[in-house]
Amino acid sequence: MRLLPVCAVCAILSGCGDSGKVLPIDELGTKQRQLDAIRGETDGPKLEKAIQSYQNVNGTFPKKLEDLVPDHLPSVPTKPDGTRYHYDPATGKVIN
């Protein structure tokens, strides 16, 4: 499961086999958005696992995502667009 995003990142960064290719500025923006999308796909499950870990240890869901730091996450991840994830402490669910 973790290998797919890593392979996708490597393919994007390598230019899919075009060695020495210099990307125009507009293509760099596209590549950055692709990388951000991959990051977002991996941060969501990571956040959900951290919430479950917190609940297993403490018997309750965290009141806020910041409660996961530093024992369950090094920092609270953000969405690829830089905004914060919404969280419902009553259910322990991340709301997109």
What's the DSSP call for residue 87?
E
Domain residues for 62? 3-15+22-95
Angle, vertex CA 6, rays to CA 73 and CA 34, nearest 5? 90
**pTM as predicted:** 0.57
- For the chain, how many structural domains are there in total? 1
Query: What token pair was written down for 54?
Result: 């917190």
Highest averaged pLDDT of the listed ranges 10-14, 26-30, 83-87: 83-87
What is the distance in angstroms between the CA of the first residue and the CA of the last residue of the chain? 21
Q: Which amino acid is at 47?
A: L
pLDDT of residue 8: 58
Q: What is the rounded average pLDDT of the residues 11-39?
A: 60
- CA nearest to 63, candidates 85, 30, 45, 88: 88
